[in-house]
Amino acid sequence: MLTFLWKFTVTCCLLNYVNPEDNRDIPAIAKYFNTKGRYEEVNPYLIEDILSVNKSVLQPPSAQCQEIHLTAIIRHGTRYPTTRNIKEMQQIYNIVRHNASGEQRWLREIQTQWTMWYTEDMDGRLVQKGVNDHKHLAVRLSKLFPSLISEEKLRGGFIKFITSSKHRCVNSTLSFKAGLTKLWGITDQEFDHTVNDALMRFFDKCTKFVEEVDNNSSALVEVDKFKQGPEMRRVQEKIADRLGVPYSLITHVMTEAAFYLCAYEFAIKAVNSPWCQLFDEDDAKVMEYASDLREFWKRGYGHDINSKSSCMLFHDLFSRLNTAARENKSGQQVTEAVTIQVGHADTLLPLLTLLGFFKDSDPLTSTNYASQTGRSFRTSYMLPYAANLVLVLYDCGGGDLRLQPLLNEKPVAFPGLTDQKDPMPLYQDVKDHYRELLRGCDFETVCQLFKHTAEV
């Protein structure tokens, strides 16, 4: 079940969500864009002030508590569509331009004013909004944790940067560093980063995941069934009716391409595109569920190996926490005060799943759309661009170490711990809770790397 704290913060977000009627630049369906959504839809207060932070969410049990280590695992910032998506967008644009008929203003705008400006060479590259996503996140985290993310720590080499090799991740890492150096006016020193795909793209390295899920069409059978089901068929028919074209022209792929055009135009250019008029809120909810269903079965709880593929990142995370705890206990200065790790939605989701976050009582399937409207597993809130899982280790005196997890700058509670309302449990209790994973969850074993080597 979704934790108390997450329910509270999501409720706050929904209550503070900027009403599209008040801000016509925001599509009415923007909160359903899944992994193509803006970070600002998760934290609407940022629309007014992109550097705003709410320090009251940090509630250590006593004034004695001092942060000693922070690890942030961050998704890259806003990017262009992939080449495959762009090809599909071109197809739906051609259908609307040459086959659609009607007098609606938005339709005439697509046919006569909007141009297909996406090109295949853009292929998932970071856009300027993505650069800003990470620059601004860096500043906000430094405001939330000034004793850790500080000029002194950065200059002293106590902040480590790790990234996936993908250009959008490397450029996001550079942007995060640029946010800090600009904040403190640093021009006389540069700061290195390490490319580590074993950590940040573990899903490519896990043989069992690649063979049983990534390259196995039967692993996503529930997704395929939903695409052919009555909810999605109704959305496709409504779009065909709005465009005045035969139903046969509007497949699921074309429907998704149109939805992505709305999402990307908003995420990249902050415009409420005429493409958004193809979908009402009910349509958007179906599109969101289709995407969540795919993430559930491809990276989430659908298959055990999805989460287990992140074992290496899981152990790396706790190794850093243990090292910081050990150094702090011995009276040493913590040598790695901050670790910034930049990867993908596909990096974060398996780890969140392994930790037990956002697990509903019933799995997402092709037939339970109606009963899943209140589900916890909703990627629009979990995994927007620049989504981040931050874990902060505190020393509260007398050997009392506590760990606070935050997702997208809001506190969450570790699922399954006795006191779900405690935002900062004892670090030892957290380790006890994940004891079995810490003892096992061996990447080479769960991913069957030895089997692969033997076959080769």
Give the torsion sign (CA, 278, 283, 285, 288): negative
pLDDT at 420 over 90: no
Average pLDDT over residues 118-138: 98
Give 405's strand partners.
Answer: 391
Residue 77: is it exposed, middle or buried by C-beta count within 10 angstroms (0-12/13-18/19+)?
Answer: buried
Q: What is the pLDDT of residue 423?
A: 77
CB-CB neighbours of 396 under 10 Å: 17
Q: What is the pLDDT of residue 399?
A: 86
pLDDT at 281 over 90: yes
pTM (2 decimals)? 0.93
Q: What is the pLDDT of residue 407?
A: 98
Number of helices (H), then strands (E), belonging to the chain: the values are 22, 7
Q: Which CATH architecture has domain 30-55+65-447?
A: 3-Layer(aba) Sandwich (3.40)
Using CA atoms, how far apart are residues 255 and 237, in angstroms rounded to an integer?
10
In 3D space, the residue among 267, 221, 203 whose CA is nearest the CA of residue 32 turns out to be: 267
pLDDT at 408 over 80: yes
Average pLDDT over residues 209-215: 97
pLDDT at 448 over 90: no
Q: What is the pLDDT of residue 21?
A: 42
- The answer to whether 252 is a known catalytic residue is no
User: Rg of the chain over CA atoms, in angstroms?
Assistant: 23
pLDDT at 77 over 60: yes
Given the residues 76, 136, 303, 344, the one annotated as active site = 76
pLDDT at 277 over 70: yes
Q: What is the pLDDT of residue 22?
A: 64
Least reliable range by pLDDT among 189-193, 233-237, 448-452: 448-452
pLDDT at 269 over 80: yes
pLDDT tens-digit series, residues 319-334? 999 999 999 999 999 9
**Residue of higher predicted confidence among 55 and 303:** 303
Q: How far is CA 124 from CA 85, 93, 259, in A?
A: 10, 19, 17
pLDDT at 3 over 90: no
Mean pLDDT of the chain: 93
Quote the strand ranges of 194-253, DSSP E: 194-195
Q: What is the pLDDT of residue 421?
A: 65
| Residues contacting 134, CB < 8 A, separation 6+ | 74, 76, 77, 172, 173, 175, 176, 179, 342, 386
**Residue of higher predicted confidence among 24 and 223:** 223
Tokens encoding 159: 């902040």
Tokens encoding 353: 């799943």
Percent over 90 (pLDDT), the chain: 88
Q: Taking the domains of the chain in order of start, what are their residue ranges? A: 30-55+65-447
